[in-house]
Amino acid sequence: MNSERVPSEDSQLAILASEASTHDKAIACQKLVYVAGPKSVKPLAALLADAELAAYARSGLEAIDDPTASRALIEALPKLEGHRLAGAVNSLGVRREEGAVEALRALVDDPGKGVRTEAIAALGKIASPEAVEVLKRLIPAQPGESRDAAGHALIAAAARLDPETASALRKMLATAFPSGPIHDAAAL
């Protein structure tokens, strides 16, 4: 890409701080995906509750290779609701943020927040030992959406685990789900 056409982080942050249109701010967030660094975290985090810009801001935060981006997402969780909360949870999964496991566990345990399935999926993407333990405790529960979501998340997590741990996890899932897609995936 021609360096003259690559936007600077500062120029995009200036747009976010201005009275620019929502469209222009959305485009700035999209461009920040390619150039954002730690100084973009605070301006992007400020948009996480914005009805029109939250998804764009999350994309920018997902791309920042700095722990402050994950902290901003975790700190935003109690302030968000609905699809904006679900999006932040998903972003933590995309970032595979091990530091988010406790916050995600709390969301799994609070069905009133409405993001239980999203939190379960994020834990599967994170696939840390702590995340796997949170998911495993959902398997003995009554059959239902959360149990199935945990089974699918554990299948995804197994792909990121060491072979011995993954094999034991798949064996547990094949036993817990005697038939169906989770059993079939675990048996592979």
pLDDT for the residue numbered 142: 66
Nearest in space to 99 (alpha carbons), one of 77, 115, 117: 77
Q: For 85-137, how does the pLDDT look when each residue is reduced to its tens digit (9 = 90+)?
A: 999 999 999 999 999 999 999 999 998 899 999 999 999 999 999 999 999 99
For the entire predicted model, the pTM comes to 0.91
CA distance 3 to 40: 20
Q: For 52-91, how does the pLDDT look when each residue is reduced to its tens digit (9 = 90+)?
A: 999 999 999 999 999 999 999 999 999 999 999 999 999 9
Helix (H) or strand (E) holding 151: helix 145-158
pLDDT above 90: percentage of residues in the chain: 90
Contacts of 6 (CB under 8 A, 6+ apart): 34, 35
pLDDT for the residue numbered 145: 85
Nearest in space to 162 (alpha carbons), one of 117, 128, 112, 119: 128
Give yes or no for a contact between 147 and 141, defined as CB atoms under 8 angstroms apart. Answer: yes
